[in-house]
């Protein structure tokens, strides 16, 4: 079984030689893994030594260079000033004072002509034996709230819902069209469509389930439907407590839920597997907040086996951390231990 076959097997209820493994991390973590495993390049470290099964190709920004300032902050393609590690935090909200449709319509949203959606021959050759994740991350929830500021945006959802809907629609339409072009330009190449919007907090959803169903569910459904028509299996990322809307994700055709933040309220793996059984592929769940960050290598190995036993009970599981982006604060040896143990456990070692 090669990585492409293994990566797709949980979605098609096929027998596995071991559970597939996915990795997302800061560049510093990858460099640390290369050093620890004495590998000269990332592909050797991640895909040959660790045995990861998923690779990713995203549309590429090819427009005018975006501004980067002396203090390390930078301007995103959405016109939002950002700072901090990796994608960081929104430091400005350019729609903070908007109150009319005219203002929203006149805003310079990202221009599709600034993006290259065609995979190169080299990219296709490099990823041919792996389960390929493609399309956009489509974080339209984050974009819509960051453009106005989350507090103002949530107020507008109640007081001026049509205005909030207009902002959401513009953000959604950018990703929907970018995905459409990506699938059209690379027919039959993408295996998995994997998108991310953090609808949950540590204790509950960031909005009521009814508000989520009104403002965001229809757009997630359209993204998922388009990807499924393009022949992709689908996965949705949302941190925090999202247990109330997992049935909605299943209803609209989402195949896998990530990252399974097991230390958030109502997200214990035992409860999730009991409630949703084999109705969805569980994707993640190996605790990054405590175990990977502060645990010993043996504790990481023990927790990896525990999560595999629980979330993999129906054979529908993808090994990954409980966050989509492993940060440099996580010891590299613990990251290696997680994947090494998952590989050994799956093959009976």
Q: How far apart are CA 164 and CA 149, in angstroms?
A: 12
Residue 339 lies in a domain: no
Burial of 105 (C-beta count, 10 Å sphere; 0-12/13-18/19+): exposed
**3 state SS for 29-55:** HHHHHHHHHCCCCHHHHHHHHCCCCEE
Tell whether 238 is covered by a domain.
no
CB contact set of 212 (below 8 Å; sequence gap of 6+):
199, 205, 245, 248
Rounded Cα gap, residues 224 and 243, in angstroms: 19
Distance between CA atoms of residues 326 and 346, nearest Å: 23
Radius of gyration (C-alpha) of the chain in whole angstroms: 20
Q: How confident is the model at residue 86 (pLDDT cuts 50, 70, 90)?
A: confident
**Distance between CA 57 and CA 77 in Å, rounded?**
19
User: pLDDT at position 85, please?
Assistant: 78
Residue 106 domain flag: yes
Above 70 in pLDDT, residue 347? no
Is residue 200 domain-resident? yes
CA distance 89 to 92: 9
Contact 155, 76 (CB under 8 A): no
Query: 197: helix, coil or strand?
Result: coil
What confidence tier does 26 reach under pLDDT thresholds 50, 70, 90? very high
Q: Which residue has the tokens 């975006």?
A: 66
Please provide the average confidence, as pLDDT, over all residues in the chain.
Answer: 96
CB 307 within 8 A of CB 269: yes
Query: Is 4:129 a contact under the CB 8 Å cutoff?
Result: yes
In terms of residue numbers, what domain contains 168? Answer: 94-224+247-256
Pair 10, 318: CB distance under 8 Å: yes
Q: What is the pLDDT of residues 121-161, one digit of tens each?
A: 999 999 999 999 999 999 999 999 999 999 999 999 999 99
215 is a domain residue: yes
pLDDT in tens, 288-332: 999 999 999 999 999 999 999 999 999 999 999 999 999 999 999
pTM score: 0.96
Q: Which positions ≥6 away from 248 have C-beta within 8 Å?
A: 209, 212, 213, 217
Reported as a single tens digit per residue, the pLDDT across 217-269 is: 999 999 999 999 999 999 999 999 999 999 999 999 999 999 999 999 999 99
Which element (helix H / strand E) includes 115? strand 115-116
Q: Is residue 65 within 8 Å of 74, Cβ to Cβ?
A: no
Whether residue 305 is contained in a domain is answered as no
Residue 311 in any domain: the answer is no
Is residue 320 within 8 A of residue 25, CB to CB? The reply is: no
Residue 4 within a domain: no
| The pLDDT of residue 265 | 97
Give the count of domains, the chain. Answer: 1
The conformation of residue 10, written as its DSSP 8-state character, comes to G
């Amino acid at each position: 079984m090669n990585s492409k076959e293994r990566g797709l097997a949980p979605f098609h209820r096929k027998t596995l030689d071991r559970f597939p493994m996915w990795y997302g991390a800061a560049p510093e973590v990858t460099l640390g893994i290369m050093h620890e495993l004495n590998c000269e390049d990332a592909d050797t470290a991640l895909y040959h030594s660790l045995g990861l099964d998923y690779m990713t190709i995203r549309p590429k920004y090819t427009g005018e260079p975006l501004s980067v300032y002396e203090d390390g902050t930078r301007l995103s393609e959405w016109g939002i000033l950002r700072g901090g590690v990796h994608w960081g935090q929104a430091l400005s909200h350019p729609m903070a004072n908007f109150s009319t449709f005219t203002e929203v319509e006149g805003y310079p949203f990202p221009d599709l002509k600034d993006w290259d959606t065609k995979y190169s021959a080299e990219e296709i050759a490099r990823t041919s034996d792996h389960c390929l994740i493609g399309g956009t991350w489509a974080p339209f929830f984050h974009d819509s709230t960051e453009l106005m500021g989350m507090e103002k945006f949530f107020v507008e959802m109640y007081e001026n819902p049509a205005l909030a809907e207009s902002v959401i629609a513009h953000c959604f339409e950018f990703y929907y069209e970018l995905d459409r072009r990506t699938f059209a330009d690379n027919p039959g190449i993408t295996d998995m469509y994997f998108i991310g919007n953090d609808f949950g907090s540590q204790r509950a959803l960031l909005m009521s389930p009814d508000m989520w169903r009104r403002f965001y569910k229809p757009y997630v459904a359209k993204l998922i439907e388009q990807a499924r028509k393009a022949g992709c299996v689908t996965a949705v990322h949302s941190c925090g407590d999202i247990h109330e809307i997992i049935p909605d994700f299943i209803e609209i055709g989402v195949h896998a839920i990530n990252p399974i933040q097991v230390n958030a309220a109502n997200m214990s793996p035992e409860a999730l597997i009991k409630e949703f059984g084999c109705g969805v592929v569980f994707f993640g769940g190996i605790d990054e907040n405590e175990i990977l960050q502060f645990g010993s290598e043996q504790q990481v190995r023990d927790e990896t086996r525990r999560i595999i036993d629980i979330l993999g009970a129906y054979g529908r599981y993808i090994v990954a951390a409980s966050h989509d982006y492993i940060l440099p604060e996580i010891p590299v040896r613990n990251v290696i231990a997680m994947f090494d143990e998952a590989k050994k456990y799956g093959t009976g070692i």
